[in-house]
Chains A and B, each alone.
Chain A
């Protein structure tokens, strides 16, 4: 355990995984490794192939080609043993809405042949937040509480590796932050976590991330390295009229790229031209900023 950061060895690796649905290729020759004890983020938009990848790794579907090994076990041949060891939280809320919080947890503990009390220490931090509502039907919980319950259910058998498919989609910012705090604590317990998310701001919380688009990993590295590798100078401009300004910027010959980013527009310029805070014809001031993972993603996806 103590050497996990110095000499990483993979708990999961895949080799040339491919999967097609009709004419749509969801995964294209995907090869990657996840080290024991790390939080590995898979970052990409909807339809990039994240869920397909998770389903192959959790033995729910078969790849057309390629192999994958989870905790030393082949996902096709040894699927039964794998199912004993993994925890999986699908993207869609998948607990029983008509069962209470406690009934859900008890049920999932039982199908993993364990009891709530056995691994309670593992979920205590999470579960005690929803315990006051333990007699409430799961369908009546808020989005954040649902996710906490789902995580508790996925953890109750102390899996060696946890698969979380977009766990924070549709969850309020405070709950999202709490959720990630929990993932950090689980990591400290030695549980490997493979998590996918469309939120780029969550990427920096991972040990390593893979940027996925159209079934391919564009880049795999630590978030810090990916950001440090951003080759251009990035500027931001604040405005109330994003669509209009975006159009103007894109028509400007000096502008290399411009895209909206929340309430501002992120801009890169051609060559070494420096706007010095101003650009003729544009009334708003430009500000030099540090790129984020999303900026890196946008740059990569343009190639």
Chain B
């Protein structure tokens, strides 16, 4: 046990004495989340809005003024018939169409309920859900005002429709995505590089000729990166909540447990890579090609899985990050109960155990 602890200590020395490693480990996650975050939030300012208002009453006018006053929206067009909706999306630069129901104010005052439709272009799901999010915000502010005024509940039923991609996507897609990417990168890439470095530097020869148990070598490599990943997880969550106001809607405990499972999986993956290659460069390339690319392209981070060709959807099923990102979206953004992510939990657990067994079996007690 003593030798194990001193091995871990040595690993921390390696990490903290190499500025590049520290930079990748601690700064990259922050930079990534800030880049992704601001890239998205700057896009929605002054979105052009078209609206169809068959009621033309005091309530709809008030809402229109609210939208006009908002920094996010500029009303540019009033439609005369709903048939124009498709056209403005096709030809215009309109990002959002608001459709009021008939007799809006009347319904609102007398039944306490009125309907409104928010239509966006679903081919850009991130932006679309961001827009509907802001629009819903304006509407609920109005609701609140009414409530204070009349001391009775009013409800504006806003129906959100995404043209071309009806699946509702979260506005905060990027947070689960970045979590998936950063954790895979740090755990898998850094662990594999750390192990392969011993091979490349020739120190593995000495370690293997010593009575040190090979399992200790693996575990001692994994422990520092595991703890740093937890640190990163905390950083990302704090940034998401306090800088980008992404709420943690679900249960934090399950979110963290899910992330720990994913970190374990990533470590197993890194371990597997380290048993397959002999140079740090190869480890980096494999991590880059085999991990980064699928995560970027197939995990739903950039392109929604639902809009992929079926064959790619099948391939994406073997990308662990896909399941993690999906589960985080559900747990963190949608705030569902944990039983709705049982499938993702199980898939990740099976993958993690499988990878760990394969790599332990692959790890040689001798040189190749």
Q: Name A's B-contacting residues (CB within 8 A).
A: 55, 58-62, 79-80, 83-84, 86, 88-90, 92-99, 103, 106-108, 110-113, 153-154
Are A111 and B211 in touch, CB under 8 angstroms? yes
B209 near A111 (CB under 8 angstroms)?
A: no
With the chains together, A86 CA to B56 CA distance in Å? Answer: 92
Known contacts A94-B201, A103-B13: A86-B366 contact under CB 8 Å: no
Least CB separation from A60: chain B residue: B367
Cα(A89)–Cα(B202), bound, Å:
10
* Binding-face segment, B2-10, B94-102, B329-337: B2-10
| Assembled-state Cα–Cα distance A23/B367 (Å) | 19
CB neighbours (8 Å) of B18 from chain A are 98
**Measured between C-beta atoms, what is the minimum distance from B33 to chain A in Å?**
30
Tell me the bound Cα distance from A62 to B208 in angstroms: 13
Q: How many whole Å from B242's CB to the nearest CB in chain A? A: 36
User: Which A residues lie within 8 Å of B211 (CB)?
Assistant: 80, 83-84, 111-113
**Nearest chain B residue, comparing its CB with the CB of A104:** B10
Cβ-based interface call for B206 (8 A)? yes
Give 8 new A-B contacts, CB below 8 A, not counting A60-B367, A111-B207.
Answer: A58-B209, A59-B209, A79-B366, A94-B201, A96-B201, A99-B10, A103-B13, A153-B206
User: Given the complex, which residues of B lie within 8 Å of A59, measured CB to CB?
Assistant: 208-209, 366
The 8 Å CB contact of A98, one of B3, B17, B367, B368, is B17
A111 to chain B: which residues have CB within 8 Å? 3, 6-7, 207, 210-212
Alpha-carbon distance A83/B18, docked complex (angstroms):
31
Where the two chains meet, the residues of B that have a C-beta atom closer than 8 Å to any C-beta of A are 2-3, 6-7, 10, 13-14, 17-18, 201-203, 205-212, 365-368
Task: Tell whether, in the assembled complex, residue B366 and residue A62 are in contact, meaning their CB atoms are under 8 Å apart.
Answer: yes
B202 contacts which of A58, A62, A92, A154 (Cβ < 8 Å)? A92
- Report Cα–Cα, A5/B8, bound state, in Å: 45
CA distance A265 to B33 in the complex (A): 70
14 contacts between A and B (CB under 8 A): A55-B205, A59-B209, A60-B208, A62-B366, A83-B210, A84-B211, A90-B206, A94-B206, A96-B201, A96-B203, A98-B13, A107-B7, A110-B6, A112-B211
CA distance A107 to B7 in the complex (A): 7
Query: B367, A113: Cβ atoms under 8 Å?
Result: no
Cβ of B205: which chain A residues have Cβ within 8 Å of it? 55, 60, 88, 90, 92, 94
| A90→B367 CA distance, assembly (Å) | 13
State whether B203 touches A94 (Cβ < 8 A).
yes
B13→A79 contact, CB < 8 A: no
Per a CB cutoff under 8 Å, which of B3, B203, B206 touches A110? B3
Shortest beta-carbon distance, A97 to chain B, in Å? Answer: 8
Q: Which residues of A contact B10 (CB under 8 A)?
A: 96, 99, 103, 107
Indicate if the CB atoms of A98 and B14 lie closer than 8 Å: yes
Smallest Cβ-Cβ distance to B10: which chain A residue: A107
Please tell me if the beta carbons of B206 and A79 are within 8 angstroms of each other in the complex: no
User: Per a CB cutoff under 8 Å, which of B2, B201, B365 touches A113?
Assistant: B2
Interface centre among A99, A111, A154 (most CB of B within 10 A): A111
B residues in contact with A58, CB < 8 Å: 209
B14 interface neighbour in A79, A96, A110, Cβ under 8 Å: A96
Residues of A within 8 A of B3 (CB): 110-113
Shortest CB-to-CB span from B352 to chain A, Å, is: 28
**Cβ contact of A95, chosen from B14, B203, B209, B365, cutoff 8 A:** B203
A191 and B2 alpha carbons, distance in the complex (Å): 27
Task: Name the A residues within 8 Å of B203 (CB-CB).
Answer: 94-96
A110 and B13 contact, CB distance less than 8 A? no
Residues of chain B lying within 8 A (CB to CB) of residue A107:
6-7, 10
CB proximity of B12 to chain A, nearest CB, Å: 11
Distance (whole angstroms) from the CB of B120 to the closest CB of chain A: 53
Kindly list chain A residues whose C-beta atoms are within 8 Å of the C-beta of B6. 106-107, 110-111
CB distance from A227 to the nearest CB of B (A): 34
Expressed in whole angstroms, the minimum distance between the Cβ of A8 and any Cβ of chain B is: 25
Residues on the B chain within 8 Å of A106, using CB: 6
Assembly CA distance A107 to B11 (angstroms): 11
By beta carbon, the residue of chain B nearest A81 is B211
Given known pairs A107-B6, A113-B2, the reply for A60 and B209 (CB within 8 Å) is yes
Q: In the complex, how many angstroms separate the beta carbon of B240 from the nearest chain A beta carbon?
A: 34
Look across to chain A and name the residue whose beta carbon is closest to the beta carbon of B5: A110
Q: Distance in Å from the Cβ of B18 to the closest Cβ of chain A?
A: 7
- Assess A79 versus B365: contact at CB under 8 Å? Given A60-B209, A98-B18: yes
What are the 5 closest A-B residue pairs judged by CB atoms, nearest first? A94-B202, A110-B6, A92-B202, A88-B209, A111-B212
Q: How many Å from the CB of B292 to the closest CB on chain A?
A: 27
Name the CB-closest residue of B to A55: B367
A60 lies within 8 A of B210 (CB): no
The answer on a CB contact under 8 Å between A60 and B17 is no
Report whether A99 and B13 are in contact in the complex, using a CB–CB cutoff of 8 Å: yes
Q: How far is the CB of A99 from chain B (nearest CB, A)?
A: 6
Minimal beta-carbon separation of A72 from chain B (angstroms): 17
Residue of B whose beta carbon sits closest to that of A96: B203
Residues of chain A within 8 A of B206, CB atoms compared: 88-90, 94-95, 108, 153-154
Closest B residue to A58 by beta carbon equals: B209
Bound Cα distance A154, B205 (Å): 12
User: How many Å from the CB of A13 to the closest CB on chain B?
Assistant: 19
Residues of B within 8 A of A93 (CB): 202
Known: A90-B205, A103-B13. A61 touches B367 (CB 8 A): yes
Contact A86 B209 (CB under 8 A): yes
